[in-house]
Amino acid sequence: MYVIELTFTCPVDEVQPQVVPHLNYLDEHYAKKHFIASGAKNPRDGGIIIANGKLPRDELDKIISEDPFYKHNMADYRVVEFVVDKYDDAIESLL
C-alpha cells in the first residue's frame, strides 16, 4: 500500500487553475482502481492519495508523473510504502 503526500511548492491560489485537471486525473485513476482515497491536507498545503498496494512502484511513479500538479512543478511528492498487517475486510482485494 502507498501513501502519497503532496506538498505545494507555490501558493494555493497559483494551484487553483490546475485543480479541475487534477480532479480529472484522480477520477481516471480511481476508475482504473489505482487510487483508494484522496483529499486535501489541513491546513491546505497539499494533499494525500492512498494508492493500491498491487501497483509496482515504477508504475506508481509513472502515474504520479501524469498529475497536473507534478507536470507544472506545483508540488513535491513523498511516497511512503507500507506493508499492511491489519485491515478491514472491505479493502482486502486492494492488498
User: Residue ranges per domain, the chain?
Assistant: 23-46+64-85
pTM of the model: 0.92
Average pLDDT over residues 74-89: 93
**Contact of 64 with 4, CB cutoff 8 Å:** yes
Res 50 pLDDT > 80: yes
Model pLDDT, residue 69:
98
Res 34 pLDDT > 80: yes
What's the distance, CA 93 to chain centroid?
19
Q: Higher-confidence residue: 89 or 9?
A: 9
Question: What is the chain's mean pLDDT, rounded?
Answer: 95
Count, residues in the chain: 95
Model pLDDT, residue 92:
78
**Residue 8 burial class via C-beta count within 10 angstroms: exposed 0-12, middle 13-18, buried 19 and up:** middle
d(CA 90, CA 36): 11
Model pLDDT, residue 89:
86
Task: Strand 35-40: give its sheet, edge to edge.
Answer: 35-40, 46-51, 2-8, 75-81
d(CA 33, CA 24): 14
